[in-house]
Amino acid sequence: MALSLMATVITTVAIAQDANLRRLDSGIEAHAWEAVGRLDIAGSGFCTGSLIAPRLVLTAAHCLFDSETRQQIDHSDVQFLAGWRNGRAGAYRDVRRAVVHPDYVYDGAVSAERVRNDLALLELERPIQNTTIVPFATAALPRPGDPVGVVSYARDRSEAPSLQEVCTVLAKQEGMLVTSCSVDFGSSGAPIFTFQYGEPQIVSVVSAKAIVDGKDVSLGTDLAAPLALLQAELIAGKGVFLEPGPGSKRIVVGQTGRDTGAKFVKP
């Protein structure tokens, strides 16, 4: 399958017409998805993240970068709102440390290399030990043709997550998963699930939107090796934020007149 990476890191393209998104407004509807949460950055920009351990949240690396300076933002500006729904969350946690894939480069260009390394792992200040918020397991990439789903927050649905339960794996190539899942502003970092093991397991994280044969598709990274690497980075004590050097501008995500990776403006 030939990919044309024509736009975007979940930016300006509208939701695909066959979205079939179901908004999870009630506690009953959202029960199985409470470990998916909104990542608020300085209370303005946001991404989607998912709990994979009581203290670990998985998301996309580009959510932690400022699109103007191309510097990594201070993770102390990030808060994880587990199961955020209509003004309330099941748990609120600040971020203690954050590691991004060491080969990830935020250079403004959408490429296969950027997508396959577009992964970040956040360590929360305190574990979430709530019987209604159960971390998700991860699984190997499914095969082309297999059904998958995605749960995400996005533009015009930032106050409750939406589930697209049936989309399809179109291809696996160059460390990427190509799916028909619909994504939009805020969907970056959203978990892509397989249901073949009887319960949802995360197989990828939404990174970007692309065009294949004139149709919008979503791109995610292969989790296996990158996730193991990020876990090793945390064990090694990495992920402490270092202030930018004197020549860099320190900005807050969502600050007026300045765009950030978390706001998903075209790189």
Q: Tens digit of pLDDT per residue, the chain (267 long)?
A: 444 444 333 332 233 333 577 777 777 777 889 999 999 987 668 999 999 999 999 999 999 988 778 888 899 999 999 999 888 999 999 999 999 999 998 876 778 888 999 999 999 999 999 899 999 999 988 899 999 999 988 777 788 888 888 899 999 888 889 999 877 766 889 999 998 878 899 999 999 888 877 888 899 998 988 999 999 999 999 998 766 544 433 323 333 333 334 333 332
pLDDT value for 185? 64
Domains of the chain: 4-249 (2.40.10.10)
* Core vs surface per residue 216-252: b (16+ CB within 10 A) or e: bbbbbbbbeebbebbeebbeeeebeeeebeeeeeebb
Which pLDDT does position 151 carry in this prediction? 92
Residue 230: its pLDDT value, please? 96
Exposed/middle/buried for 171, CB within 10 Å: 0-12, 13-18, 19+?
Answer: middle
Cα of 235 vs its chain's centroid, Å: 22
Q: What is the pLDDT of residue 5?
A: 45
Chain Cα centroid distance, residue 57: 10
What is the distance between the alpha carbons of residues 27 and 43, in angstroms, rounded to a whole number? Answer: 24
Amino acid 47: pLDDT? 92
Q: How many other C-beta atoms lie within 10 A of the C-beta of residue 108?
A: 12
Nearest to 39, CA basis, from 101, 83, 97: 83
CA 220, CA 111: separation in Å to the nearest integer? 12
Nearest CA to 5 out of 182, 142, 207, 170 is that of: 207
